[in-house]
């Protein structure tokens, strides 16, 4: 059965996250419904690179789609977009090797969090408006403590006895851009609520209500403190998913022409 790599974007405000749930509107659920309409069958597999929580957006979510079809990728893109609601859009579709896996082959995921330093009439669904004055230099210093391999059990609702809570943060930056503070975090993978709790602690440091020195302690010892500062989902975007150069490449470039 042919396999397609699909890149999509979505505005997460009205979704209960990525994964299909009973009696809830989800991104995966809408994509499955649109696929049934386009292909006229239930015989397909649709598997995402990872889950996003309720209210979280995606600039570039990746999923693979296994379906028997003679339609060309650009036609599938057009037909899926016609069948999808306005808050989901297919950006690219490629036919790829059947061995490609959207989740297992991902080597790095990058998230963006947007903090607004002023009240906004237009961007409320895409930012966290923090009314307090924030010291950005202190936030930059705090963020650097997260870089590297650490145990994030204090920063997740996942059970550390059920799955590993160790995550490698490969990059984290904090930048001012006009009335926005943009925090970009890249890592091997992320745990449930992990980024929003990281953001919450960084903001508390920026407010002057916590010292950045608390972060190494939270990474070494179990604590419920980060949960109380969980940032809202509105400002969080899945920005990109990175694959090994040989994975997810359009199938035409995998064929050696003699």
Give the N- to C-terminal CA distance of the chain in Å, as an integer: 26
Pairing verdict, β 236-243 and 44-48: unpaired
- Whether 158 has a pLDDT exceeding 80, the answer reads no
Sign of CA dihedral 206, 207, 210, 215: negative
Looking at the structure, tell me whether residues 112 and 41 fall in a common domain.
no
Annotated catalytic residue 53: yes
pLDDT in tens, 38-90: 999 999 999 999 999 999 999 999 999 999 999 999 999 999 999 999 999 99
pLDDT at 157: 82
186 and 207 share a domain? yes
**258 pLDDT exceeds 60?**
no
Residue-wise pLDDT for 169-181, tens only, equals 999 999 999 999 9
What CATH code is carried by the domain that includes residue 70? 3.30.70.580
For 51, other C-beta atoms within 10 Å of its C-beta total 17
DSSP symbol at 233: G
Q: What is the mean pLDDT of residues 195-215?
A: 97
146 near 170, Cβ under 8 Å? no
**Domain of 60, in residue numbers:** 3-104
Residue 257 has pLDDT above 60, yes or no: no
Last residue of a domain, one of 47, 80, 104: 104
C-alpha angle 16/22/27, rounded to 5°? 40
Catalytic one among 42, 53, 105, 158? 53
Reply yes or no on whether the pLDDT at 255 is more than 50: no
């Amino acid at each position: 059965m042919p396999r397609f790599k699909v890149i999509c974007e979505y505005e997460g405000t009205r979704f209960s996250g990525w994964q299909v749930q009973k009696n809830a509107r989800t991104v995966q659920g809408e994509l499955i419904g649109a696929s049934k309409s386009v292909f006229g069958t239930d015989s397909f597999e649709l598997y995402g690179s990872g889950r996003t929580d309720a209210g979280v957006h995606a600039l570039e979510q990746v999923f693979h789609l296994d379906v028997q079809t003679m339609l060309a990728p650009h036609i599938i893109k057009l037909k899926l977009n016609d069948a999808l609601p306005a808050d989901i859009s297919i950006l690219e579709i490629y036919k790829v090797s059947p061995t490609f896996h959207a989740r297992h082959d991902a080597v790095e995921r990058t998230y963006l969090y947007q903090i607004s330093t002023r009240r906004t009439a237009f961007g409320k669904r895409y930012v966290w408006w923090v009314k307090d004055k924030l010291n950005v230099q202190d936030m930059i210093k705090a963020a650097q403590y997260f870089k590297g391999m650490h145990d994030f059990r204090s920063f997740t609702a996942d059970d550390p006895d059920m799955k590993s809570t160790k995550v490698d943060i490969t990059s984290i930056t904090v930048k001012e851009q006009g009335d926005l503070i943009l925090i970009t975090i890249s890592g091997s993978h992320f745990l449930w609520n992990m980024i929003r709790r990281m953001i919450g602690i960084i903001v508390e440091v920026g407010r002057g209500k916590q010292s950045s020195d608390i972060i190494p302690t939270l990474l070494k010892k179990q604590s419920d403190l980060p949960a109380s500062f969980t940032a809202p989902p509105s400002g969080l975007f899945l920005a990109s998913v990175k694959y090994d150069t040989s994975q997810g490449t359009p199938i035409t470039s995998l064929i050696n022409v003699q």
